[in-house]
Amino acid sequence: EDQVTQSPEALRLQEGESSSLNCSYTVSGLRGLFWYRQDPGKGPEFLFTLYSAGEEKEKERLKATLTKKESFLHITAPKPEDSATYLCAVGGQTGANNLFFGTGTRLTVIP
């Protein structure tokens, strides 16, 4: 069964303190791994798609990496505006149009 586990559930960082969020997955034939950012009361906002192990993508202070079993979202020198819940989702061979979402990591960046 396709499954996504995100850790930690919550993370508090001081402004400028770099860290990483983890997304571990089991999926039959990975077709895509997606990172989204979700602010309170809003819909998920697309950040990255990764397709194969070894792939990396960057956007401002965020960098996403992918291995065969997990993905990391690295946050370099975070700012308070980076506070949000970060969601990971995977698409596999089963359920052709299903994305399986993790429960997210709630990030708080303290000024």
Whether the CB-CB separation of 30 and 90 falls below 8 Å is answered with yes
Contact with other proteins (CB under 8 A): which of 12, 31, 59, 69?
31
Whether the CB-CB separation of 7 and 24 falls below 8 Å is answered with yes
Query: 50 forms bridges with which residues in the sheet?
Result: 33
Contact with other proteins (CB under 8 A): which of 25, 44, 64, 84?
44
Q: Give CA–CA dist 97/25, Å, rounded.
A: 17
Q: How far is the CB of 64 from other proteins (least distance, A)?
A: 13
Q: Does 101 bind other proteins (CB under 8 A)?
A: yes
Q: For binding to other proteins (CB under 8 A), which residues are involved?
A: 4, 31-32, 34, 36, 41-46, 49, 51, 87, 89-93, 95-104
